[in-house]
């Protein structure tokens, strides 16, 4: 909005979409075709979700000519941004919208996956909810199939509903050639060059669970075996631990002939 302070009212209303797309923090958005914006069918139901809907639509479509004070103008501007975002979520799952987002994806305009094993694979914006103002936008990596927070605080503040929960899946259905091969590379924990054994990870997990339970019981001031009969409880847990270890060791191949035993990856 600050970028527009020095512009005249005519420039403000004539190039709203150009200004919006080029503004810092809006790099995730693509430009919506005017034909799409002027087709009322594409805007069905949005009049109940956007304050000053008609004024906001006029501003987005560059026909706004209302003479109003700065406060009213700011309110309409906010509504216009919200309206554009809601229409954007619908537009990017159309043929034209997917093509525009594909170009941005190929240029890594949305960022690259921070996971080392993904080798800077490009990301796609996505929403965790289709309900406006409920969840901020996230970034999806098709290689590791995980989601990440945007690095920029400007991007992190964007409403996830402006991209929706389906776009990042639809684009790979329309363009299946984009689906990356799943890498077999996995980080393997090591200590002085030796792989960390599965049983060690299991024991650490069980100890953490047991300590957590003790803390919770003490906080609630509940008298339990952890206080008065700790040995018997630990004895039972040792039996369970042995059983769990046997299961875990079996799963990871411990006890098999040499060369077949597995380790945790």
Count of residues for the chain?
A: 265
pLDDT recorded at residue 257: 44
pLDDT recorded at residue 226: 52
Q: Closest by alpha carbon to 32, among 98, 117, 122, 131? A: 98
Q: Which helix (H) or strand (E) holds 189?
A: none
3-state secondary structure (DSSP) of residue 142: coil
Q: Which helix (H) or strand (E) holds 264?
A: none
Positions of the chain with pLDDT under 50: 1-13, 227-237, 241, 245-265
CB 206 within 8 A of CB 238: no
Structure tokens at 20: 């919006």
Match 């960390």 to its residue by tokens.
196
How far is CA 79 from its chain centroid?
24
Q: Closest by alpha carbon to 13, among 22, 4, 26? A: 4
DSSP string, 91-138: HTTSHHHHHHHHHHHHTTTT-B---GGGTS-BEEEE-S-SSTTSSB-E
Distances (CA, A) of 161 to 85, 157, 168: 8, 12, 13
d(CA 224, CA 240): 18
Which residues have CB under 8 Å from 190's CB, separation 6+? 196
pLDDT recorded at residue 263: 43
Torsion 238-240-246-250 (CA) sign: negative
pLDDT recorded at residue 87: 98
pLDDT recorded at residue 261: 41
3-state secondary structure (DSSP) of residue 20: helix
Which residues have CB under 8 Å from 143's CB, separation 6+? 113, 115, 118, 121, 180, 182, 183
pLDDT recorded at residue 214: 84
pLDDT tens-digit readout, 13-64 = 458 999 999 999 999 999 999 999 999 999 999 999 999 999 999 999 988 8
3-state secondary structure (DSSP) of residue 42: helix
């Amino acid at each position: 909005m600050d970028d527009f302070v020095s512009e005249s009212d005519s420039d403000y209303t004539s190039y709203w979409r150009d200004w919006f797309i080029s503004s810092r923090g809006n790099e995730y958005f693509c430009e919506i075709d005017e034909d799409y914006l002027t087709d009322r069918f594409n805007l069905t139901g949005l009049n109940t979700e956007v304050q000053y809907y008609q004024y906001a639509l006029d501003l987005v479509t560059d026909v706004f000519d209302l003479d109003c004070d700065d406060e009213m103008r700011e309110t309409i501007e906010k509504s216009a941004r919200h309206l554009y975002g809601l229409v954007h979520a619908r537009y990017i799952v159309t043929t034209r919208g997917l093509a525009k987002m594909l170009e941005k994806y190929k240029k890594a305009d949305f960022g690259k996956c921070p996971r080392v094993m993904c080798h800077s694979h490009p990301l796609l914006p996505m929403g965790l909810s289709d309900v406006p103002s409920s969840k901020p936008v996230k970034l999806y990596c098709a290689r590791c199939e995980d989601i990440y927070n945007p690095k920029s605080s400007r991007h992190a503040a964007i409403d996830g509903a402006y991209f929706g929960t389906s776009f990042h899946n639809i684009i790979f259905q329309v363009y299946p050639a984009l689906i990356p091969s799943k890498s077999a590379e996995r980080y393997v924990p090591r200590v002085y060059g030796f792989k960390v054994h599965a049983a060690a990870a299991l024991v650490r997990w069980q100890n953490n669970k047991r300590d957590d339970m003790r803390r919770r019981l003490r906080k609630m001031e509940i008298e339990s075996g952890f206080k008065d009969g700790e040995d018997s409880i630990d004895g039972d847990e040792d039996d369970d631990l042995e059983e769990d270890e046997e299961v875990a060791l079996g799963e990871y191949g411990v006890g098999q002939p040499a060369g077949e035993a597995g380790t945790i990856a």
